[in-house]
Structure 1
Amino acid sequence: MKKRVSILITVFAVFSGSLLAQTVAFREGIKWGVKENESVIIQPIYDTIFDFDSTGKICMACFRIKSASANKFIKVTTTSFACNYLSKKNERLIIRNQLNDTSSIFSYSKSILKQYLNNDPYFMVTWKGKKFIVYKSFQQLTFKGYHDISFSPEKKFYFTSFKNEGDIVLAGITNEREEELIPHNYSIIKINTNDSLIVACSAGVRNNADDEVFDYHGKKVIGTHRHIDIATKHFLIHKIYEPKEYYILYNMNTKEETTVHADEIMIYEHDEILLRQKKEWFIYDLNTNIKRPYKHS
């Protein structure tokens, strides 16, 4: 009974604490600010404000900017927003790029708003059309600026991309020191963390170029004109799209090929894959070509 009472008290304390820590946007005149426990933590000086994220660390506060167009025949006024990311201490995020340019002012869009309204410890900041990763404690992780950037399944690598002069998005991999590990020459990058391999697909960005497999040091393991969907230490899994979709399992040691018809294939463990045929999933052993039912845990 004492244990049950203790649990109830703990739950109530946590729940009460969450209630006490609530923040709310408030309006004073035509300006907006934020209160916590009826105390003002962000002064009402902004034209619009978005409440703190689910972790309670940052909010976005914006000033409205009106500007006239350059059209000499028709006067058109456009409205945009210049925004600050703020902490509960009313500190502003100041971003810095590799040229040591800094800014605390960011543009607003619905997609930018979604980038911080989550429970992740980090978020993406867009500045001058480039993306950076920042912890919600305002510790900046990346400084180069990318068309897009995200964490890969391997924590020491980032999936990164740039746009070239032809407006084509080129994907690659950058390490935690922002050194290019896999050149930005590809359309899709995948990582097999079981075997420490990286698959780089060239389709759609480089005509007649190979799909390639690299190790974690950026050393090329193999390349082929066929599309590589998955690579393991000993096998390449090619996905063929025409005339009908199917897969070819290529043994890099024996050079043997096995054709498999499946709706979907995923990496499982080393030389085993998950294979979906209609609504059924199987574990497929690449060495023996034997499949067994996959039971979801």
Structure 2
Amino acid sequence: MSILKNKISLGSSSALFSLLQDSNESVASLAMEQILQLPDFEAQIRSAQDSSEPMLRRRVHQLSSIARRREYMGQFLRSALKGRIGLWRAMLLLDHLYDQQSSFSYLESMSKALIHEFSSSRGGSNSLARFMREHKFCVPGDNWFDVGNHLLGDVLESRVGSSALLCIIAQHIGSFRGWHSHIVLHQGRYCLLDQNLSMIDPSEDWKLHRKLKDELYHICDSKAVLTSIISQLFAFALVNWDPWEIHLFSKMLLSMAKLGAEELPYPLGNYNSPTVKKTGEG
């Protein structure tokens, strides 16, 4: 294998692309890794997309998909780390990173249809709460551990989701009518608080509570809501013991918290590991 690595690293870009057609998956994978590091990667990919060789076209498509996912992951992590990412954009990226078949245009078309319907209403908290109720958006009655409850595409399609996702969707729809709100925590549930201190609770069938006292809610910033959603997804990945999901969501959480992989709980990291000596022990 070391000879193969040397052969690939010393080869030209054309040699690397020729190795994509190799029937040996290990050879093709090593070539793909090298191609992804080419300084003119995008230009090289474009020139190979119209190849007459079906194997080459398929692997070039795989490379394009990997590159896009890396780009989206980079966008997501850079913005989330700085706390500058809007929750709607974050949910679009998260959906696409989780599901390769997810389409930004499809997600936006579903939301635009809802926005168009709401545009004919009077606007305001009452109208928005009624709109979400009439369109059957609700928290799950059971199956709380369904990953889909925390993914934008699934919630837009099924109208069933976590209170955090329902708040994000309602907030997005309302913003197009000039309705502004904060996402808040109230008794452990995510709700929406408008400028008049009226609160919409999606977990109570979009009930509207007026003039809520300050001590009854906590305003959450975008990063806090996003961290909560990804933490839930990471927990579900652990329960299901899905290696790919564990890798995806742990990478997001660790990057946002500026922590190393060793901070993860055992056996993923060293936290509470029986083989790591605890601080203060002799």
| TM-score, structure 2 as length reference | 0.29
The structure having more radius of gyration, on CA atoms, is 1
Task: Looking at secondary structure, tell me which structure has more helix per residue.
Answer: 2
Task: Give the strand-richer structure, 1 or 2.
Answer: 1
Give TM-score scaled by structure 1 length: 0.28
